[in-house]
Each structure stands twice: as C-alpha cells, then as structure tokens.
Chains A and B, each alone.
Chain A
Amino acid sequence: MTALPHSTVKKLGLVIDLDTCVGCQACATSCKEWNTGGYSAPLSDIDPYGKDPHGAWLNRVHAYDVGEGASSRTVHFPRSCLHCETPACVIVCPTGASYKRADDGIVLVNPDMCIGCKLCSWACPYGAREYDPADGVMKKCTLCVDRIYNEHIPEVDRIPACVRACPTGARHFGDLGDANSDVSKLVAERGGYDLMPESGMKPVNKYLPPRARRDATTCGKAPAPEAAPMTGDGSALDRLFAFADKILSR
C-alpha cells in the first residue's frame, strides 16, 4: 500500500492566494470543526482549558513579516498537507496506513491501521501531519474526502471546509492535473509556485505570490496632498474639542 501509484488520474489539491489571505483563521477553525466529526474524527485537544492547551489541527495559519523597511509587508500563510506527488510520508509508513489514492491523488491515513509510530511526521518537510495523543494515531488533511464526493450535502458544500469558509476567497480547490481547470489556469496566470521545491516531494498544492505593492511608494505618482488641518468656527464647543484634542495628543 505504501508503494506510490505511478500516476494518478486526477491531482486534486488547493491553490492558496497569499495576496488575498487576511489571516482570519476561518479556514483553520472550520477545518477543525468539520474534521473532528468527519473522516479524521476525533481531532483531540489536550488540556483545552488549562495552562498548556494544544491538540491536533490539520491546518495552521502563520503570519510573516517579509522584506525590509518601508517596503516590508505582512504575509498570512496557511499551511496544510500539500498532497505531494512523491510524498516520503507514505513511503516510510511501515503499516500501509498512509497511502496515496491512485484516482484523485489524495494522501490519507487509515485510522484503523495506523500504529502511531510517527515516522511519517518526521518524513514530511511541511509539518503537515499532527499526531493525536488521545487517539494514538496520526492525523492529516484529508482534502475533505468526506465532503467533496458527498451526495448527502448540498452541491455548493462539496468542497473542502477550508475553501468553503474562507471569507476572502483566498483558497481554491480543483484538479491541478488538468491544465484546463480553473485552478490550473489561476496558477498559470498568477505564477503559482511550490513550497520548498528542493524537498523533492513535488507538492500538488500551489501558492499564489502576493501581488506587487500598489501604493504611494510604487505607483509613481506624487503622494496625495495632506488634508488641510481642520479649523473650527471658534464656538465654545469647538474650543472644548480643541482643548480635549490637545490634552489627548500629549
């Protein structure tokens, strides 16, 4: 089972737009909510109300400060399993619990076979696997395999929970093996890229880079004139505000 399929019919995956992501954590929370009751159930938490709350999550949203000085920027960065084409996490698994599906390329852990040896988490360069100490097995993104083919839910919901939840449309789901799919076109148009390509895992998920800045420092136009300071009409109320302003501005 841990031998990889030579090729997969589809390459289902996510495209994440780092330009639009605002780091709201909706995808991560929605993922946790769906998956603690879905295929990966439970996603246990340890010490949830105590001093050291932690637990298994399948999606983590980082925030980075990139670049120097005035041109530096904040980039919100969701990180989850990239459903790699040649994933070492699958090859190292001694039980066959980890496998890559030949039809759609989804990388899954069979929770009934996993012995919780954690070797797969060592083999993944992307930190995409989190061990669930309460359940004793490895957890990872399932690409919501229990939603995308699920005919019991409305069609609009048959996409991964994270994609459905994202309020800014920063997450896209589709077949990256099909050059004509919307996601493939988006990747081509926006210069989508692989994370840590030197890992050799050939990730399927792609990231869209932040667009070039469009502001006073880059548009080439003179900055907008500063608004003239507000001058009041000299009334008592106006003087009161001016006084308050002076005190508060100290």
Chain B
Amino acid sequence: MNPAYSVILFTTASGAGFGLLAWLAFSILTVPPASSAAYYVVAFGVAFAMAIGGLLSSLLHLGHPERAWRAFSQWRTSWLSREGMFAVVCLASSALLALAAIFDLHPILQRALALPVLISALGTVWCTGMIYESLTTIRAWNHWLTTEIYLVLAIASGALLMTALLALFGWFSEGAAWTTLGLLGLGAALKLFYWRGIDCAPKLSTAGSATGLGNLGQVRVLEAPHTQANFVMREMGYQVARKHALKLRRIALLLAFVVPVLAMLAALLLASGGAAFAAVLGVLSMTAGLVVERWLFFAEAQHVVTLFYGAERA
C-alpha cells in the first residue's frame, strides 16, 4: 500500500494527541498531578495541536474536504464514520474539560467532563485501528492485533508526552515514568509479535484463484492492461523490498521503543532537571520511530489486487 504522508502524519500525530487527552482526562479523574492553569494550557494546547493537526492533514487530502461533514452519517456500518464521530465528540468534550481544568472549576464538574473525554479519545484510536483491521483485502492489516497496537502505541506516546510535560513543569512523576515504561515494553512486544505473525501467515489467495484460471496451470502476466500505472497500481501496488523492510523494522524498534525506554530510565535516575531533558529526548525519538513504524505498516502491506498485476500470492 502506498504510504501516503497525510495518513502517516494523521495516525501518528493524532494518535499521540488523543493518547495525551486520554491521560489528561485519566489524571483528572483519579489523582490530579500537581497542576496549574499554565500546565493545563500547555498540555491541552499540545494535545489539541497534535490531534487537530493530524485530522486536518487527512482532511486536506480528501478529494472534497468541504463535504467532510457527510462522513458522520454512516456510523452504523463504517469504522471511518465512527472514527469521525468519536473524534468530534472527543475534541468538543476536551475543549470543555480544558476550560474547566484551566479555571479550576469544581472537581466534580471536572470529573464529569473527564469521563467522556477518556472514552471518546480511546474510542477514536480504536476506530482508527478497526478501519485497517476490518479490511480483508490486506492480510497484514487484517491481523487481530492491528487495533490493539494502534491503541497501545497511542496511549504509550501520550504517556511519554505527559511525563515530559510534567517534568518540564518541574513535577516529574515517577508513577508516570513507570507507566510509560510498561506501555513501551508492551508496545514493543506486541509489535514484535505482530511482525512475526504477518511473516508466518499463509498467503491464501493466488493469481490462479483471482483469475480462476489456476486449474489450467500457472498464471503469468503477458500484457498489462495499461502502459502507465493506473490509480490501483499507484495506490495499492506499492511494496517495500523485504531487505529494506527488515532494516526499517530495526530502526523503528530502536527509535520508538529502545531510546524512549532508556530516556525514561535516565529520567528516573536523574530526577528533577535532567529528567525533563531526557523525557523530551524520548518524545522526539519516539515520534521519529512511530513515523517509521507507520510508514512500514503501509509499505509492507500487500493488497490482493496485486494478484491481477503479477503477484503470485497475497
């Protein structure tokens, strides 16, 4: 699948943004960290910038962005429609929560607003994952862990962001750092398990089953139907070479998990001043790592339509 930059930006930036919103809501629901209006302005500001920035980048790549409102109508069948609804509910309720937190309104009101934010933030990311997981045409996405990985990576990057923000405000939290560590470990484990899974899964469709000519012998392309690549080939014919994919997997693993884990450990050891520096370093590394991971998620995925264009199995 063609790794379109708008979708990569959307899923990584918005994922982290919704992850951070979920953590802000969770902390308000449970044990509010030492907090101030300034902290909430910055934290909600960062979360909004990431979530909305990602959403906008994917919106602008629609053929008709001005009709985007129509995408809220088909929530009964479409995960994309559900994602849009959750995202809007989340942004609207987060805006209210941000105001309540910044102006330090009554704790009960804050908690009442935090609950829908938590649910809708996680719901948005869950739907993003399901958009991909529900596509039976792409074996690598149809894997049962796809959605869980989207969720865990969003929550992990959100947790890392929050740890960094707290540290920047001088309230480095060991609890947040340990939670982040746990989520990073879980994310890395799931991703490794997923990679193994898609490498071993049998490719059930063949050029023979796609054309129905398999019983006559091997099916080879004699002539392409068009001289230049068409939309189908441009959108779905992209596939990164195996050798490069393996190298990029290692880079993704290093940047998205190993470096942030080291950064969290360093932050725990250094505490105070150095912790903020280490955590910010972790955020930068994880951002780069997730972009590589997401690029691979697309570039490694083979669509069954390639069977008509010369692939033997998919």
Contacts and interface: CB of A to CB of B under 8 A. Distances in A.
Given A67-B218, A92-B78, A115-B68, A199 B137 contact: yes
A92 B62 contact: no
A74 B209 CA distance: 17
B84 interface: yes
A8 B234 CA distance: 34
A93 B78 contact: yes
Given A56-B231, A121-B231, A127-B232, A200 B136 contact: yes
A72 B212 contact: no
Nearest to A67: B217
A125 interface: yes
B78 A2 contact: yes
Given A71-B217, A77-B211, A92-B134, A62 B223 contact: yes
Interface stretch (B88-96, B182-190, B302-310): B302-310
B226 interface: yes
Contact of B305 (A66, A116, A125, A209): A125
A119 interface: yes
A163 to B, nearest CB: 18
B217 A195 contact: no
A195 B225 CA distance: 18
Nearest to A113: B70
Contacts of B218: 66-68
Contacts of A186: none
Interface string A38-61: 000000000000001111110011
Interface residues of A, number: 69
A125 B137 contact: yes
- Determine chain B's interface SS by DSSP, over half rule: mixed
Tell which of B1, B212, B303 has the most Cβ of chain A within 10 Å. B212
Tell which of A18, A64, A197, A200 has the most Cβ of chain B within 10 Å. A64
B186 to A, nearest CB: 28
A89 to B, nearest CB: 10
A137 B63 CA distance: 6
Given A121-B235, A125-B136, A125-B304, 13 more contacts: A53-B227, A54-B231, A60-B230, A61-B225, A77-B213, A79-B308, A94-B80, A97-B70, A114-B64, A115-B67, A117-B71, A117-B80, A198-B205
17 contacts: A28-B225, A53-B227, A60-B230, A65-B220, A66-B219, A67-B216, A92-B79, A92-B80, A94-B78, A95-B70, A95-B81, A115-B63, A117-B63, A122-B138, A130-B232, A199-B136, A209-B213
Interface of A: 1-3, 18, 23, 28, 52-57, 60-68, 71-75, 77, 79, 88, 91-97, 113-119, 121-127, 130-133, 135-138, 193-200, 207, 209-210
Interface of B: 1, 62-65, 67-68, 70-74, 76-81, 84, 131, 134-138, 204-205, 207, 209-213, 216-232, 234-236, 303-305, 307-308
